[in-house]
Structure 1
């Protein structure tokens, strides 16, 4: 692992830069929040107008239901964006902690190091046919000939 330390760090950095970006999602989140505010304001104005001015209730209810449906749709989209942003931030933290662990490796690792194991690896899968798969915390899987 020590010989390829720089390569591993570069790969982790590349993953962080590529997979964990949230800028576009954050912009879309902000736009969606603004759209929700506009829809809420439109609904409030519609309700106030209905209270002040006599109007066809069928047409009023149709408009109100359309606005509410769009609001709920946008709200669902906002929740999905929140989940995506949280997932990417979680992956970023995991990959950054893996990078710190790799940066801390000095010299040959000849003995089991619990901190190194816990910082990099999630689990190892051994199948009946002897095939071994090492799964790192960042979701990277590597097959090992066993």
Structure 2
């Protein structure tokens, strides 16, 4: 079922089914945690290499492609996509990627999970978000991937001024400030100003703490309900299997009887096009469900932090920052809009 020699976190159990290797599973969970905290694939790979944590194949140096593979593999949430590939020649054992020639099957709870489905969905949502993001980079700090230029939409990156003197300061600046046809007018921001502004925004939020917490579970369920999407997915999956079977029968019929090839090709092409349309609808449905599940987990993290903190912050707290902030938009005149994970926004002028 699993390529155990190249697969981190599992071994073949005595009953023949996958069994979790806890020490390796800790590395898998760390990868997801670092990624969701804003680290890039290459940044995670460098950290694991530096810490001398062995790769899935037992090597010393991690590659960013390995991180990508782990983040995208549904097996870590205890699910399996069957028949991703199939054997085309049983004599040579030649295989090819399944591009619709035979049905694929998605099996939930097929083996023990290393991460929760919610964390997996969060990671898939974050992967798509970063892919579409402009100028996404991270230097490893908690502000990476959070600060956005309100003018061009690019992420802010960190720079160090006077790095070798007593006047050393970390500033954050639009990564595309000098790459656009017209230079962005949004300002650079000192890191200490970011921290103090966050404290103001969070403390303002806490003043409405009781109001926010009141009835939030019902609000979350309303905002993130996936029941209709799940019903639609079941319908699409059923239709997909029917069309895939029609494709198979069409091919078999052409192979076993004399058919008009133009008529066959038109029929085959029409079925394959319909299959691809359904697959695209299934992928779109999955993306929507993952986005809503990711939103649910983000809001729950936010609410847990609000429940935990009943006193005002007197200093910057990275844990509170990571749990509550979705993004910070930067505008001219040093205006910051803090967007919390529940959708609330607070404006702070530096």
TM-score normalised according to structure 1 size: 0.84
Task: Tell me which of 188, 193, 209 is aligned to 1:5.
Answer: 209
Matched residue, 1:112: 315
Give structure 1 regions of 4+ aligned residues with deviation exceeding 6 angstroms: none
Judge which range, 82-91 or 10-19, deviates more: 10-19
Tell me the SS of whatever aligns to 2:346: strand
| Whole-angstrom distance in 2 between the partners of 1:23 and 1:80 | 15
Alpha-carbon spacing, 1:42–1:14, altered in 2? closer, same or farther (3 Å): same
Matched residue, 1:87: 291
Matched positions, count: 145
Q: Which of the two has greater strand per residue?
A: 2
Q: CA deviation at 1:71?
A: 0.4
Q: How does 1:37-116 map to 2 (within 5 A)?
A: 37-106=241-310, 108-112=311-315, 114=317, 115-116=319-320
Alpha-carbon spacing, 1:50–1:110, altered in 2? closer, same or farther (3 Å): closer
Q: Answer whether contact 1:122 1:135 (CA < 8 A) is retained.
A: yes
Q: CA deviation at 1:125?
A: 3.8
Greater RCO, CA 8 A, separation 6+: 1
Matched residue, 2:237: 33
Q: CA deviation at 1:65?
A: 0.5
Task: Give structure 2 stretches of 5+ with no counterpart.
Answer: 1-204
| Whole-angstrom distance in 2 between the partners of 1:78 and 1:18 | 23
| Whole-angstrom distance in 1 between the partners of 2:207 and 2:340 | 19
Whether 1:128 and 2:332 are equivalent positions in the alignment is yes
Q: CA deviation at 1:91?
A: 0.9
Q: CA deviation at 1:43?
A: 0.9
Task: Give structure 1 stretches of 5+ with no counterpart.
Answer: none
Q: CA deviation at 1:142?
A: 2.8
